[in-house]
Structure 1
Amino acid sequence: MKSISTNNLPIKALLLRAVFALILLFMHYSVLYASNAVNTGMKSELKLIMMSQQLPVLTSADLMRLPLISIDDMKFVGAFRIKSGRYGESKTGYSNGRIAYNDDNHSLFITGFPSDSSIAEFLIPELVNSSNILELNRTSKPRQDFFRPLLRLKEENTQNLNRLGGMEYVEGELLVHSYEYYDAQVDSTYTSLVIRNANNMNNSIIDGFFEFDGNAHVSLWISPLPTQLQQLFDGDYITGASSVMPINSRASMGPSAFVFNSADIVKTDNTNNIRQKNGLINTIKLLDYNLAHILTDNVKGWLPFKEWGGKIQYNYSGQRPAGDDFPLVYDVNLVGNNYLWTEKSSAQYGIVLPGTRTYAIFGSSSMHYSGGGYKITKKNGKTCPGPCAYDPSDNNNYYWFYDLAELYQIKTGKKRPYEVKPYSFGRFVTPFDKMYSAKRKYGYKPLVSGGTYNAKDKIIYFSLPVADLEQSIYEPAPVIMAYKLNRN
């Protein structure tokens, strides 16, 4: 027995040494991998998200592990054109560019001529990575012609809703926001309708009107909340708006964000019971501004109108006479340094970018470099019908990025909805910023007016509604841009 025991000792020692060697080898390659990751520019934030982006975010600590993105992380991957023409009850010319992605058909719902309040569906062609409109693929005729849902509702339109806002395709149904264009009395409470069979709109039941808690502050976009964030924020979609519509007092004076549960309005047969229960589709307010709390770049993050109005509102501290006299007193040295939010800022689409804690809002903004005024004569000699920049070229696509960690503080009552400001904002440079129409012989800059998300391909589509003058100079049609995160 003694000899056997003695013979086993070297074997055990060898086994222990082998295990120890394997551990050392594993540690070596782990360090080597980490070193290579650093050498290739991989951030620690990105490594964390690669390991945990599928895990549910249950706490504020989990949320902080998600990265924030920069505008440089947005990568243009192509574009296509919407076919110009009249189809059914409206036309693509001068569309206001509200869009929604249909993941069942790989298609796009898009609104038509604004006053028609109409929707059509176009199949998406192959993307072409080019800034030359003539090189872009063009859609075929619509899969579904333009259709005017406000005229098909059983409920009477007593609040004179006459424009369509944000849309979202959810499990075969199309949730559509609607609003009164000029609500001078600020008394509209209706916000939404549902096309129950979005794949056969002309024969579909249309339910509405519904009332979202938030009124006109929810009207312009709807986007999905990433699955991993839904439990923390108690909802599966975000809706929002900004001061794009006339009458500032009824709008959010900065981008807004309201979380809601789609099950409260979509894929349900008891919609009447929902309305009768409390009169509202409940929302959770994460971000919102009003005339008493306007988004500004100061310590508080907001100002009341009496402090914001005037030189900050128009980013110009000189005299501001209306009409033809403005060029006589205009002085470039009196243009301020307000690069955040002016009277001509327009947030058009907001989305929480999957795998991040960034609430990204896109639209356009003006008056940042030349200042402006109300009904002034511009540098080109033309008088504008309302607020405008002195220099017509001082109008750019823009972005505002918010940190969801701060919005979570609003949800938990630690901050108020107007006490946060974006961690990053500025020009959103697109491949179509410097367009020239040979037919009309002038340059122009198409501006973003809507967006939607293709979750399967991780693509954000943005609409440039009057970008395509090549099909018709009298009926400019939309161009749709596609972007991805560089991290995807």
Structure 2
Amino acid sequence: MKLRHVLLLPAALTLGLTCQAFVAPSEATASGSGTGIAQVSSDPENPSIGDVWINTTDHTMNWADAGGVTKISGMFTAWASTSDNLITSQNIRYLGAFRVPDGTIGCSNWNTCVFSYGGGPIGFNKDGNGGSGSLFIGGHIVAGLTAEITIPPIVNSSDIDDLNTASVLQSFVDITEGNRKNVNLGGATNGGSVYNGGFLVWGDKLIGSVYTYYDGNGSQYLSHYTSGLNLSTNGDFSGMFKLSNVAARLVGGYMCEIPASQQAAFGGPALTGQSGLSVISTSSSGPAVSVFDPSQLGVTDPVPATQLVYYPVNHPLAQTNTQNTLFNLTSAVTGIVFPEGYASVMFFGRHGSGEYCYGNGTSDQSLAGLPSGDGATYCYDPTDASKGPHAYPYKYQVWAYSTSDLLSVKNGTKQPWEIAPYSVWNFDLPFSNSAGSGHILGVAYDNVSRKIYVSQKSGDLVGQYGRNPVVHVLQIDEP
């Protein structure tokens, strides 16, 4: 095992030292003034000249040079320390992408049985398509229907016409059988918009989750359901179900399996979460996730769940109405991956990296900051003209947490909001455009091939019915 000391360092340090944030020993890029290249120490008890490390007891940064060890207090925080591998952006490679079928599928209605204005959530089915693997994927977001598609040969190209198109294995169906909005206490119908939040294939069942779009009262009480893998079978829906000890809007989204080697430590086999929803006071101001056992849905009521990370409005990951690199009211987390062999859990989503502004979006930069006539102001955002939070431009983003930090919450030594990601990075995808504005609709993971499937909003604008998603494929290196 490799001993790693993971650091959060400011962009500019005293003593002429500059250091890249979130460095691990294999990728340190710090440099000292007049002392050559700095490296994160793998043996702080016997440092070499140029080593830098965090003392996790007194939270000081330590710098070794020819004159000895310099200790700097009050400037640095150790966010994670583990004896296992922490995944970084360097461990993930882009493989390519594929298109989804265009037109209506399973009915003739263009705004229900289509992928346009949809493409999430997604769930990987290892036994699908005769064992080749397939994806369950949502269609038009308002209709809330689900289909199953093949995974065609992946092509790496910036020309959308070069990509292969998936075939339909099962046409669009409402797998909730009309129950999607029955999420209030006692299974009462929620009067607002309720959307599919996540898919997870679990044995012979498709596990689903749902969330209320705008819920200032926190009226959603139930969040999960089960269906069979044969979408044409009626009567196999079961739900909605409650997860204990956690609000429904904190779990009604992305899901993933916990690696078998980690399930005992985490106290369960799967993760489920949700964050960044309106109204934020009833959601999480940063990534949120809990442990649960999907096999207990419909067996134990409520299903036991244990929170691992969550940021209430009074303990946000970052100030939500500011420009920052971590989280604001334009951020959205829509996928999660827990890869075997790494001590990391990755959250995937979108983050507004520009100047934060609440108001009406405009593509006319000269109007930014001026009154818009309705009591608000104009915000420069050529991708979104609606009234609300803006922070153009928007980036695809990963928030990476260490398992040791998550377990510290599970074991009761820290509160869910007292931990933070050890690394945050942006990444690019081909076919990004103003219609997609950095949105990821869902993420699915094949834990055998270590492939991550990412559904990109509106990546394909040439479809007959408008804005189809594009599914991109990322590869995690062997640890």
The answer for the alignment partner of 1:313 in structure 2 is: 321
Query: Of 221, 242, 251, which residue of structure 2 is paired with 1:218?
Result: 251
**Could you tell me which amino acid in structure 2 is paired with residue 424 of structure 1?**
S
Q: Using the TM superposition, give the Cα deviation of residue 107 of structure 1 relative to its aligned residue in structure 2, in angstroms.
A: 1.0
Of structures 1 and 2, the one scoring higher in RCO (CA 8 A, sep 6+) is 1
The answer for the alignment partner of 2:238 in structure 1 is: 207
**1:100·1:169 contact (CA, 8 Å) conserved in 2?**
yes
Query: Of 58, 67, 87, which residue of structure 2 is paired with 1:69?
Result: 87
Report which of the two structures shows the higher radius of gyration computed on alpha carbons: 1
**1:259·1:285 contact (CA, 8 Å) conserved in 2?**
yes
Matches within 5 A, 1:162-181: 162-181=194-213
Query: Of 152, 161, 173, which residue of structure 2 is paired with 1:125?
Result: 152
Distance 2:143 2:408 in 1: 41
Query: Of 93, 99, 107, which residue of structure 1 is paired with 2:122?
Result: 99
Q: Does 1:399 align with 2:395?
A: no
**Could you tell me which amino acid in structure 2 is paired with residue 370 of structure 1?**
E
Gaps of 5+ in 1: 1-37, 46-62, 266-270, 297-307, 316-337, 436-441
Q: Using the TM superposition, give the Cα deviation of residue 44 of structure 1 relative to its aligned residue in structure 2, in angstroms.
A: 12
Q: Using the TM superposition, give the Cα deviation of residue 204 of structure 1 relative to its aligned residue in structure 2, in angstroms.
A: 4.7
Residues 342/162 of structure 1: CA separation in 2 closer, same or farther (3 Å cut): closer
Distance 1:228 1:486 in 2: 18
**Could you tell me which amino acid in structure 1 is paired with residue 285 of structure 2?**
M
Residues 64/201 of structure 1: CA separation in 2 closer, same or farther (3 Å cut): farther
**1:378·1:384 contact (CA, 8 Å) conserved in 2?**
no
Distance 2:272 2:315 in 1: 20
Q: Using the TM superposition, give the Cα deviation of residue 380 of structure 1 relative to its aligned residue in structure 2, in angstroms.
A: 6.1
1:86 match: secondary structure: coil
1:408 match: secondary structure: helix
Q: Does 1:114 align with 2:141?
A: yes
The answer for the alignment partner of 2:3 in structure 1 is: none
Distance 1:349 1:448 in 2: 8
1:75 match: secondary structure: strand
Residues 199/455 of structure 1: CA separation in 2 closer, same or farther (3 Å cut): farther
Matches within 5 A, 1:185-264: 185-195=217-227, 197-213=228-244, 214=246, 215-243=248-276, 245-264=277-296
Matches within 5 A, 1:469-488: 469-472=461-464, 474-487=465-478
Q: Using the TM superposition, give the Cα deviation of residue 432 of structure 1 relative to its aligned residue in structure 2, in angstroms.
A: 3.6
Query: Of 341, 349, 364, which residue of structure 1 is paired with 2:335?
Result: 349
**2:249·2:283 contact (CA, 8 Å) conserved in 1?**
yes
Residues 155/399 of structure 1: CA separation in 2 closer, same or farther (3 Å cut): closer
Give the alignment's TM-score, normalised by structure 2. Answer: 0.72
1:76 match: secondary structure: strand
Residues 383/94 of structure 1: CA separation in 2 closer, same or farther (3 Å cut): closer
The structure in which a higher percent of residues are strand is 2
The answer for the alignment partner of 2:78 in structure 1 is: none
Distance 1:478 1:154 in 2: 23
Gaps of 5+ in 2: 1-25, 27-39, 43-80, 107-111, 361-376
The answer for the alignment partner of 1:361 in structure 2 is: 347
> Structure 1 segments of 4 or more deviating over 4 A?
152-157, 380-383, 442-446
Residues 199/295 of structure 1: CA separation in 2 closer, same or farther (3 Å cut): same
Distance 1:128 1:426 in 2: 24
Q: Using the TM superposition, give the Cα deviation of residue 464 of structure 1 relative to its aligned residue in structure 2, in angstroms.
A: 0.5
2:336 match: secondary structure: strand
Distance 1:64 1:457 in 2: 25
Distance 1:193 1:371 in 2: 37
Distance 1:66 1:449 in 2: 31
Identity across the alignment (%): 26
Give the alignment's TM-score, normalised by structure 1. Answer: 0.71
**2:175·2:231 contact (CA, 8 Å) conserved in 1?**
no
The answer for the alignment partner of 1:82 in structure 2 is: 100
**Could you tell me which amino acid in structure 2 is paired with residue 143 of structure 1?**
L
Distance 1:207 1:150 in 2: 8
**Could you tell me which amino acid in structure 2 is paired with residue 170 of structure 1?**
W
Q: Using the TM superposition, give the Cα deviation of residue 349 of structure 1 relative to its aligned residue in structure 2, in angstroms.
A: 0.8
The structure in which a higher percent of residues are helix is 1
